Amino acid sequence: MTTIIEARNITKTFGQEKNQTVALNNVSIAIKANEFVSVMGPSGSGKSTLLFALGGMDTLDEGCVYINGVSLYEMDDNRVADFRRKNMGFVFQNPTMLPSLDILDNIMLPSFEDYKNDKSALTQKAQNLMKLAGIEGTENRKITEVSGGQLQRASICRAVLHGPEILFGDEPTGALNSKSSEEILDLFEELNKNGMTILLVTHDAKVSARANRVIFMKDGALESELYFENEDHQTRLVLINQKMSDLGI
């Protein structure tokens, strides 16, 4: 498998002098194409900062990040935004969608530019994706007329409609009940089976149990990791919970 994301010696600090926080301390990591990786660690250990750094959403103090061998932090801002838009999708804990548009238009909005001459192809693609996500039938509803889990699934559809290779998520199931959360996880698994590389930050062992690799962070550094292949769900949970309790999560 080829490496799709590579970070070399990245360091990120916030604040000045006495108030300085080292959010990432000389972190290096390589993620292979089609991996499903989850990132865990205590609050403040640098998980979100790592995700943002790998997604080109922040500046770094030191180090570099390569996506498919392309150096993210050497591009100018316009190019990085364009590169990000083409290659990456992002989902967060609380999806933000426009209340003036229905679900389908919200999903299609970021991709309109790419399909401006063929809106029907885009609509078809969006509807296929909504079916895969189990939210067909909600196309013409307002964002206030669907459940939290359906809205999150719609936001995942929006994040992947343009066909990015990598999906980043920061606590994407954090605001959901366990049934909705399982549905989101099924969707991630399906996208991963279809070739997408997934990197999720989570506090939830059940989320991490779906990943092939769980990275544990502590104090801005990678502390350890677990790799899963054929372990059953229960075994994975035991291993993850053990690690979480060692780290005091």
> Which residues are near ligand ATP by CB under 6 A?
14-15, 21, 23, 41, 43-49
Per partner kind, with CB cut-offs from 5 to 8 A, the member of Mg ion, ligand ATP, none near residue 43 is: ligand ATP
Looking at the Cβ atoms of 48 and 106, the one nearer to ligand ATP is 48
Cα–Cα dist 96/143, whole Å: 10
Per partner kind, with CB cut-offs from 5 to 8 A, the member of Mg ion, ligand ATP, none near residue 128 is: none
Looking at the Cβ atoms of 48 and 181, the one nearer to Mg ion is 48
Per partner kind, with CB cut-offs from 5 to 8 A, the member of Mg ion, ligand ATP, none near residue 138 is: none
CB of 124 vs ligand ATP, minimal distance in Å: 37
Alpha helix locations (H) across 117-177? 119-132, 148-160
**SS3 per-residue string spanning 193-219:** HCCCEEEEECCCHHHHCCCCEEEEEEC
Q: Which two tokens stand for residue 182?
A: 């399982």
Residue from 10, 24, 38, 48 binding Mg ion (CB under 5 A): 48
Alpha helix locations (H) across 27-102? 47-54, 77-87
Q: Which two tokens stand for residue 22?
A: 């080292």
Cα–Cα dist 124/238, whole Å: 42
- Applying CB under 5 A, does 155 fall inside the site for Mg ion? no
CB of 19 vs ligand ATP, minimal distance in Å: 8
Q: Which two tokens stand for residue 14?
A: 């916030």
Residues interacting with Mg ion, by CB under 5 A?
A: 48
